[in-house]
Structure formats: C-alpha cells, structure tokens
Structure 1
Amino acid sequence: MSFVRNINRRHAISIGVLGGLLPFAALADNSVTLQDSIVTATQTAHSELSVPASASVITRAELDKMPVYDLADAIKRLPGVHINTSSAYGRKEIKIRGMDSDYTLLLVNGRRINSRDALTSNYANDFDLSSIPMAAVERIEVIRGPMSSLYGADALGGVVNIILRQPTNATEAGVAYSYEHPTEGDNGDVHQTSGYLSGALVENKLLGNLIVQSTDQSAWQTDQLSLTGTDAVEQRQGDNVLGSLSWLLDEQQSIDLDVSHREDDRKARWNNFGALVTNVQNMDRTTFGVTHNGNWDSFNSRVRYYYEDVELSDDSEIMTKLRGRVGKVEQNNHTVDGQVSTTLGSHLLTAGSELRRTTLTHNQNLGSETEVDQQAVYLQDEFSLGALDVTLGGRWDDHEVYGGKFSPRLYGIYNLTDNWVLKGGAGKAFKAPDITQSDDTYSVLACRGMCQIVGNPDLKPETSVSYELGTLYQNERLQAGIMFFNNDIEDMIVSDSWRAGYRPKVMTYTNVSEARIQGYELQGRYAFTDTLAVHANYTYSDAEDRDTGEQLNYSPQHVANAGIDWQALPALGFNLDYQYTGSQMLVVPAKSASFESGAYDTVSVSTKYQATKELALKAGLNNLTNTKRDDVAQSIDHILMGRTVFVGFSYDL
C-alpha cells in the first residue's frame, strides 16, 4: 500500500506573483493539479499548496535556461533567499530569511553534505555549494524555516535538498556545453562541459547512470579592486563524476548504490591590508551511499548508510608563512539511518532514527584525531480534522558533547477551498557548536592572519523558536501567497573580533548574543496564456542583534525578484529576470567597524531554441545594465560581476 499522497501539478504554475494578486483568488475555482511534489518538509510527498512549510521547487527545465554553476546560482531567485558574497575573491554563501549560512542545512537526496569542520564557514559553505554537478540534478527543494524536528542540528534557517536524476530503464544519453564571457575587466571566462548516460544493465532489474561534469573558470580582474593585481573572482577548476545503480529486487524492494568524486581547485590573489597574497586551496570529496527501499503491504521502509570523505590541502600564503607548512585537513562523515511510514486509522505516521560520526584530523591543529558521535530518533504524525490538516512532529538528538535536545514542531493547513489555504506553525530548533568552535586545541587564523580564534569547550548549543503564518492560493493560471515569519535565537555563538582599541592576538567564541529575525514574503505567478507568464517575489526581513539593537551584518532587509517567461514559438522561448538587493551592513576590517552598503539591482535575459528534437541552443546576458556595487562594498573587494554574455548547447539522444 502506498502512503505518498497522490498530488499532481502542472509545471506551468510553479512559483510566482506578489500578494497583491490575492484579491483575485476568488475569481477562479479550478482544482489544482501539479506535477512537482515536495518531500523535504515531511519526508512524505506534498504539493506546494499542501506542504506544511514555506517551500519552493526548482526543476530541471528551469536549470537548463540559465548558466548555473553551483547551488547558489540555482536558487538565488527564490523568495527568502539571499546569496551573500563571503570573501574578497567571489566565494558565496546561502542565507535564508536573514539567517547566517551556518543555519542552512544542505542535503543530497535527503542526506547532509558537510565540510564545515574542515574549514571555517566562509570557505566550507562555498565548497559544499559546488560539490554536486548541476548536470546530475533533477530538482531542488528549498524549505524556509527551521526543520530540526526531522533533520536535527544546523537546520535553524532552512533546508536545501538536491534531488538527483535517477537511473532509467530506457537508454538515455546527452552532452552539454556552456561558455560565459565578461564584457569588461580581464579574464573571467567560464567553460562548463557535462555528459550523461543512463539505462538498463539488466532490463527491468539493474539500472544505472553516469554523470560527469567539468568547470573551468579563470580568475577575473577589474579596476574596481582596491589593489591592482588582485582577483575579484578566484580561479576555479572542478571535475565531478557521479554514478548510481538501482537493483530492483522485486515489485516491493530495491537497493540503490551511489558513488561520487569531486576535485575542486581554487587560487586567488587578494588584498591583505595593502599586501598582495595568494590563496590556494584544493579539496577532494568522495561519497558512497547504499540504500534499501521497501514498499510493503502495510508500511514503507528505508535503511541506508552514507559515507563522505573530505580532504583539504590549504597552501595559502598566510597559512604557510605563519604556520610554516601546508595545511592538511581530513573530515570523515559516517551516517546510518532508518525510517518507516505507515497509516494507523486516519494518521500517517513517520518514524526514524539516525547515527552519525564525524572524524577530523588537522596537521596544524588538534594534537590528535577528534571524533564526535550523535544519535537521534524522531516521530511525525500527519492527520486531518475536517478541513484542517495537522502535522505534529518531534526529534530527540543526543550529542556526545552537548547531551540531549528535543525539537518539537506543530503545523496546520486550513483548506478554505480546493485552491486556497491558510497555513502556519511553530517549531523549536537547535545547532550544536562545531569542532572548530568548541575544541580548544583548534585555532582558526583570523584578522587576515594577524590573530587567531581558538575553540571554547564551554559553549552551549544555539536554540531558536520560530513562528510563521500566511496564505497561499493556486489555480491553473494564478498563484499568490504571503507568509509572515518570526525567529528568535538564543545563545547565538559569536566570535570575538577586533574593534577600535581592542586587537588581541588570541580570541575565542562565546554565547553572548540573542537575535530576532522577523518579516514577510510575498510570492506569485500569473499565466496570461499558455505561452506567456509573469512571476515575482519580495522578502522583507528585519534581522536584529537583540543585544545591541543593530541590524545583523550581511542581511539586506529588502530582496525582490521578478521575471517574464515567453514561449514565442513552440521551439523558441525567452526569459527576462530582474533581481533587487537592498542596503545592508558590511564589516570593513581596516576600520574594525560596520558600514551601510547601498542597494543594487541586476537584469538578465536569456533565450532557448530547440533546433531539433535532440539539439537545444541557449544564449543570453547576465547583469545586462552592468551594475556595480557602491564604495563600501568595493572597499572590501566585494565586487559584483559585470555584464557577461553566455552561449551553450545540449544534445540529448
């Protein structure tokens, strides 16, 4: 028996226009059918209308429209999402609803990916974002808001789940190539090549696929930089290979096996208080997973093991000069989990458990290998009370160092009509300090190499309580919604930092801050015809440090996106996208203080032409207006890439 809700949905109504469209909701009463289901929020399938969370989906077709090199590129136009520049040479991080990137949990097929302990956050998040080849992605699900009741620590801000393409019984193959060129500055060209092969090794019994991808980006220089000879975007070379096998034991059981490997090499020249230094880092990431899936008469089951090995070589000039040798770091993540879903009367129950072990070695820190174990159990109940659908869940995590934490969650959806719902809920989440923050034998170079931050074993986990309430309407042409949210964080972990008159050589982390992030999201889409649609979203988030009353750094209050999708001919489509990022506070290290950086916006256009059944061509311009960021951002070398032109093709058999 199957417990996945039968939800179909036409792709033409994915996400889109502002809450101002809500008054028109009563004009139509067509039932909603949607093809794209969301599983991340509950581990059971829902439509975007019925999912008990604020959620969005990016499909394979949407990824094919634009040059997308990593996860940040793929989701940057979704409501509540801000892609922040996290380094002076173009590295990025995902912020959801004003929360730091550390609070965004990244998953691949529901399994976490994490190299955070091998690197500080400014590095690890960016390496994680590029760890999965975009050619391997079937869709991406983004949940905005805490999800610790299912996924445990690190999910305070939200969850990004990458769903990979599955092996097919029919033989499929394809190649793709794209090229992007900046129209100003020096160098910066990007070449991306990928190949895909899928089919049956044994018909209806053993299916497999293989995906390879290579990305080569040269460093980009511009006269906006504060020091001549430095890079606004670092040089990157990345090669991915990913393969999977699915053994269909019978109609009820399958065993899935997947293996991946990525080599990720980075090099940049940057300004260290007036001195040009070189940053070189190479990361090799290898993963292995095996899963048993069962679809039994009275329940569904899943048991899996997942292994991730991350090896980092840090040959940065500051590292080698100050510590005398190349940094060598290795992080191993082992995860075993199991889950069962069944119905009991009118209740859909999901129960599961998880065991995780993280092992870290560092040749310049951690006198010996460090190992941390975590285990968890969770239970979720989905049921209906008339027109009200209720999701009630809770998870107990037992951390080897920080003990037990309970994360409850309650969510309700009231069905006003088949097309219109009220939804809202509350939840509690937590985040345990990582090894870099808690181990007093681990120190991170900071202050551009002139100080170090040492772990504090007395830290407490961060906790948050969140609430959201809103409404969403969908029919075959219109989608519109508004969601209000509030998130209070206690015992926020902050690192000490230099400020006027205070410049110690050694600092640490403390639980001293409380933060409140509150605001609202508007989103909508309207299809004028089957070939012409508009979409837009707007997010207001007030991210405040409750200790100082000041706005959190790198958190713009206003973010908006809008676009037009026009299928001019059956084989020819056009897309226009506009993105607005409001003013935000940026830290200027040279002045040991934060300053406001002004708003900026960008426009992108693209076209896709299906030349033949097999051959598709695409082209376009990013940052059409050649927008530049203001003097505050440029003073710390946070440079916005200027206008670029891109072309590409894909050929599918």
Structure 2
Amino acid sequence: MTAKAYDPHFHRILTWALLALLPAAMTLPVQAQETADGATLEPIVVTATRSEQNISDAPASISVVTGEELKTAPVGDVSDAVRQLPGISLTAGSQGRREVSIRGMDSSYTLILLDGKRVNSREAVFRHNDYDLGLLPVEAIDRIEVVRGGMSSLYGSDALGGVINIITKPDADTWRGSLDSQVQTPLEGEGGQEYRSSLYLSGPIVPGKLGLTLLGGLSKREIWKAYDDEIIPGTDINRKNLTTLEGRQDHSGRARLTWTPDEQNTVEAEYGRSYQRRHGKFYFRSYDEMDSTVIRDDASFTHRGDWDWGQSELRAYWERSEPTSGEDKLVQNNYTLEGNISAPWGRHFFTLGGEARWVDLEAPGEFESGGASTHQQALYLQDDILITEELSLLLGARLDNNKYFGTHLTPRGYLVYRPTSELTLKGGVSTGFKAPTLRQLSTDSVVTSCRGACTIVGNPDLEPETSTNYELSIAYDKRDWGTSLTVFQNDVDDLIDIPRQGDGGTYEPINIDKARIRGIEMTANHVVSDFGRVTANYTFLDARNRDTDKLLANRSRHSINGRFDWFIDDRTTAFLSGEYIGEQRTYGRSGKGDDIEGYALFDIGINHRFTDSFELRGGVTNIFDKRTDDPDDDYSFAERGRTVYLGANLSF
C-alpha cells in the first residue's frame, strides 16, 4: 500500500423534495415524560452534538428507544431493539447474521457507540460483524439513540450512514440491581431454543464519592434447522440437516468504577470481557462446518470536568478482538485517545475536539508480512448558533489525517426552526469520508469466503468513499398526537463493493463511481386517552448505481412498521406489532437482477407487574410463521419462524 494524494470532491447543493402522502404504520418510539402538573418533558439526547439537547432541538433526525421499552418485547440484541424504527433495515452478514443498515447504506457505515466510545471489531472479526450488536445485556441499557444520516463531521469515517449510541445505566445513588431472564422456542423446525439472562448491580462504595456498576450476560441459542427434506442436486447432502440459524453462546461481563472527588471532576475506569461461539453446518456452493470462537477485551479511562466556563472530557480506551478457533485467526488491537471541550459564548455554543486512533492487525497466516497497521488523527470544531429564540444554526467541520490518504475535510451545516412549541422544521447538508480498511487495501490479505468456494484479496488502487447528505424534515407534536415527514438524499462517490459473479474464483473490492440513495420517512403517533397508544412509520427508499441506473441489491423500497400498546390497567399492558419488508432487488451469480417479494411479520405480547419488583412477560413472534429460509427465494437472511417467548424481571 502506497500513500496517495487525495483530492476531495465537493458537490453543489441539490434542491429535491417529494410530495407524497403514503400510508404510515407503527413503530416503537420514545415516550415523553410528564411533570406533576401534566406538562410534557421532551427526551434529552447527546449523540447529535456530544452535548445534552431536547430531541426536537437536536440538529439531526433522531429516534430513541428507552430501557423500559426494551423490556416489553423479546429483544435479543441491538438489531431487535431498533429494527422497527424509521429508516432502519436489517441486512445479512455471514451465516445470515443480522446487521443494521441506516437509510440504505451498507451496515459498515453504521457506527456503533457504547457510551460514546466507538465499537470497532470489523477488521479482525471478518465473519462476526454482528458481534458488536450483542455486546451488552439489554438489562444494562438505559436508552439507545439512533441518528439517521451522515455524522462524519463529528464522529469520523464510520458514520457515513448514521450512529447508534448505546447508553448504559448510570451508577446508582443507593445499592440496587435487577435480574432479567428470557426463553424463546420456535414452534416450527427443529431446535432454535434460546435462553438469555442478564444482571445489573450498582451502588456506592463510598457514598457521594465512589460508585461501582457490574453488568453480566449469558445467552445460548441452539442450532435451528428448518429446511425441508430435500437432497441438494449434485450432492448427497440432505438440506434438512443443514443449519438455518447458527447456534451461539455468549458470555459477557463489565465493571465500571466512578470517582467524583468534587462537583467539578468525575473519573471513570471501565473494563469488559466478552466470549462468543458460533457453530453450524452450511451449504453455499460447497459444504462447510463452522465452529468459531471470539474473545474480546476492552478497557477505558475517562475524565469529565464541569467548570464555570463549560465542560471537558478526556478519554483513552483500548479494545482487542481475538478469534481462538475457526478459520479467522486475525487479532485486532485498537487504541484511541480523544477529548473535547464545550462552552457557551453569547449566542454560540462551541465544541472543540480531537481524536487519534491506531489499528494493529496480527495475522501471520493471512498476511505474508505477519500483519498490518494504520493510524488516523482528527480535529473537529462545531458551533451551535442561536440566531433567534426560534432559529438555530449548527456549523461544524472535521479534518482527518489518514496514514494512506492524507488529509480530508468534512464540513456540515444544519438549521433548526421552531416557530411554535409544536412545530419543528429541520434541514441540512453534511459530507462524509471513509478510507478503505486494511484488508480491503492490502494484496497481502487473502480471505477465504463463499464457504470455501472463493477468495477475496485486497485492492491497493481503491479510493476513499466520499458522500454528501441532504435532509429536510417537518414535525408537528402535541401532547396526545404527532406526525413528521423527512426527505433525504445521499450521493456517494467511489462506493466500495465486491462484485461476485460466477461459481467461484478470486474477487477484489472495487470502487463504484457513483451511487445515489434517496427516500422519504414518515411517522405518526396517537395516544388514545388512557386506553392505549398507536405509533407508525413508513420509509420509501430508492438506492441506485448512478452509472448504470440499476437498483442497489438487498434494499427494500418500501417498509412499514406498526405497534399498538393497550394499557389494560396500572400493572398490565399488551401490544400488537407489525412490520412489512417490501420488495427488493437481488443479483444472482449471472448478474441478472430479480425482485424478491415483500413479506410481513406480526408479534403479540403481554406484560404484567405482580409487584413493584417482579414482572412477567410473554407472547408470540412471527404469528403467521412467515418464512424466508427457502434457498430459491434468495432472501438475504432467514427470519425465525413462529416463536413463543416468556421472560421475567426481578429488581431488588
């Protein structure tokens, strides 16, 4: 890999709007809290600017899922928690593992944060890209903030599509804890039983000075076999013996110490360790038995200051991913040092920050040189300007310096106008920059894929991907109902893709010159007195290769989500939710495009709190047993069939 001079591309701002009224359906939104006098308090978010803001004032499209909402449904990982939000779709990793895509961008453009720290294991865990989504037990999560749209000006190259920030519960002032357990079993096929338990324990060691939080999670899923009794043509393999959904075992633990010596200073030290095993039997052009294990460690040290002039934060963290079995033996170490200060000055609120990251790969079996490394540094500046009491303007820019591609500037501008407390208009333009990964760049890297039928090698001629994002939205929210409409467009240059055609061979990533992804997001919600709540969203997506005008693969053009919550009494609630994943285009080995039919999923459940500390929940997911595991249908991943679940939560 040789250094290249990078020439940044800038685009003219496009004027584009779609006027449409399309049926909305339902999702799981954050609920505003009420004060004692009945006034509504807006949710507070931090991800859009790294500082606290009301969600309506935040310069971005944001959805929030609270920890309490996570308990009302059979949530296994983050993909379950966010899949019914507007603009969100699930895509397939290896072995059909689910990954999160935002507004049609590949899942690699979704930045996962844990309490603001990036989670970065994609280099080492090539076949375990869903690992980050199972990082924490649900019981440990306070809320999940999802920012839709490019955020590279603040978070860097991984945030071209958006950001998912998993925010854990803070240390408790008095000792308290909770234990959550859940079992699920499919009613169709063979196996697939899943068991999950998580523990949260928090309290003061020295009251007012030193606090401790302990988190733990255990989960196990048996292999699910749901294929029909059929011999695969040209082989002696019976499809019914193959794995539809892989088996998995996860164990994780995390400890955090928080020291507050005075009102101005807070110091946190945190350590986590996770273990994951994946196993199954698959056939894709060839037969393959998979049994792999990944161990992950991470540690961080953080100082936060609350001063008379503003706030500061300085953080250093390390993470290590190490496969201990299976084909991949590539070890990844990430080191990050970052900090920022923020302060008001008249009608301005400034945030100035910097970041330095180093990535080291150790892979004697894959790299002839024994490994590879890269580093990147960045400075960013953001000014949130209160022009009037109703109008604010955010201006920001990030300057990245990449080892292989030099410096690149990613600016962003965003307006928020609130003429009344109910009406909000937002809009802005942001840019993004994403350098190829070490594996994508290096010809020294040779990865076996396609169940052993092909190999993937790096391409040193790759160019960085760049993007320009446009967004315009209007929202109207009253106490018992609300609605919103957002139009967006993302123009991507030099999009990296791995075209795979034929029955095998050697493939390499290439740059697609231009791609365009645009769409509409609509939401609606209504509280029906004390009886219940209806919430809805609809997403239209048009994602194309601008050079060929072909639709990009495996992106649903229409998606609808819906949920009705019934408040039976003070201790009992029930819900019915629905999700429609619309028609999408797929390209087979011949390169000819085919359309995959859309499908709908429906879930039902009930929660009952027996006492203030004990709660039971149960229900059925995929009520009508919609299946996507037929190999001839070419769906990107298999939805689990009709499944019964039962869960319990004990707090103490």
Question: TM-score w.r.t. structure 2 length?
Answer: 0.90
- CA RMSD of the aligned region, Å? 2.0
Distance 1:636 1:535 in 2: 28
| Secondary structure at the counterpart of residue 466 of structure 1 | strand
Pair 1:119 & 2:118 matched: no
Pair 1:487 & 2:490 matched: yes
Q: Deviations over 1:347-397 (max 9, x none)?
A: 000110001001111132122231111100000001122221111100001
In the alignment, which residue of structure 2 is the partner of 1:530? 530
| Secondary structure at the counterpart of residue 570 of structure 1 | coil
Distance 2:481 2:399 in 1: 40
Q: Deviations over 1:399-434 (max 9, x none)?
A: 111111111000001112111011100011011101
Shift of 1:458: 2.1
Q: Deviations over 1:97-133 (max 9, x none)?
A: 111101111111111101111133xx34311211222
Q: What amino acid is aligned across from residue 181 of structure 2 in structure 1?
A: Y
Shift of 1:632: 6.2
Shift of 1:494: 1.7
Distance 1:270 1:592 in 2: 23
Pair 1:282 & 2:286 matched: no
Distance 1:19 1:569, change over 3 A: closer
Pair 1:219 & 2:223 matched: yes
Distance 2:48 2:543 in 1: 24
Question: How many residue pairs are counted as aligned between the two chains?
Answer: 610
- Cα contact 1:49–1:474 (8 A) shared by 2: no
In the alignment, which residue of structure 1 is the partner of 2:511? 511
1:129 to 128, 133, 141: 133
Counterparts of residues 112-511 of structure 1 (less than 5 Å)? 112-120=118-126, 123-224=127-228, 227-273=239-285, 275-315=286-326, 319=327, 327-366=328-367, 367-386=369-388, 387-499=390-502, 505-511=505-511
Distance 1:234 1:39 in 2: 36
Distance 1:504 1:215, change over 3 A: closer
| Secondary structure at the counterpart of residue 568 of structure 2 | strand
- Cα contact 1:477–1:528 (8 A) shared by 2: yes
Q: What amino acid is aligned across from residue 258 of structure 2 in structure 1?
A: S
In the alignment, which residue of structure 2 is the partner of 1:571? 571
| Secondary structure at the counterpart of residue 115 of structure 1 | coil
- Cα contact 2:580–2:601 (8 A) shared by 1: yes
Pair 1:582 & 2:582 matched: yes
**Structure 2: tracts of 5 or more residues without a match:** 1-22, 27-36, 233-238
Distance 2:482 2:446 in 1: 49
1:84 to 64, 87, 91: 91
- Cα contact 2:629–2:639 (8 A) shared by 1: no
Shift of 1:276: 3.3
Q: Which shows bigger deviation, 540-549 or 509-518?
A: 509-518
- Cα contact 1:586–1:633 (8 A) shared by 2: no
Counterparts of residues 63-82 of structure 1 (less than 5 Å)? 63-82=70-89
Distance 1:582 1:224, change over 3 A: farther
Shift of 1:441: 0.5
Q: What amino acid is aligned across from residue 309 of structure 1 in structure 2?
A: R
Distance 1:169 1:224 in 2: 55
| Secondary structure at the counterpart of residue 437 of structure 1 | helix
Distance 2:287 2:463 in 1: 39
Distance 1:223 1:627, change over 3 A: same
- Cα contact 1:31–1:419 (8 A) shared by 2: no
| Secondary structure at the counterpart of residue 486 of structure 1 | strand
Distance 2:628 2:249 in 1: 27
Q: Deviations over 1:468-510 (max 9, x none)?
A: 11101112111210000000000111224224xxx67333222
- Cα contact 2:340–2:353 (8 A) shared by 1: yes
Distance 1:349 1:336 in 2: 21
| Secondary structure at the counterpart of residue 371 of structure 1 | strand
In the alignment, which residue of structure 2 is the partner of 1:34? 41
Shift of 1:530: 3.4
Distance 1:616 1:377, change over 3 A: same
In the alignment, which residue of structure 2 is the partner of 1:547? 547
Q: What amino acid is aligned across from residue 229 of structure 1 in structure 2?
A: N
Distance 1:298 1:378 in 2: 20
- Cα contact 2:93–2:129 (8 A) shared by 1: no
Q: Deviations over 1:246-305 (max 9, x none)?
A: 1011011110111111100000111132x4321122111111011000000112100010
Distance 1:246 1:126, change over 3 A: same
Q: Which shows bigger deviation, 464-473 or 40-49?
A: 40-49
- Cα contact 2:24–2:522 (8 A) shared by 1: yes
Q: What amino acid is aligned across from residue 275 of structure 2 in structure 1?
A: E
Q: Deviations over 1:210-239 (max 9, x none)?
A: 111100100101135862211111000000
Question: TM-score w.r.t. structure 1 length?
Answer: 0.90
In the alignment, which residue of structure 1 is the partner of 2:69? 62
- Cα contact 1:230–1:276 (8 A) shared by 2: no
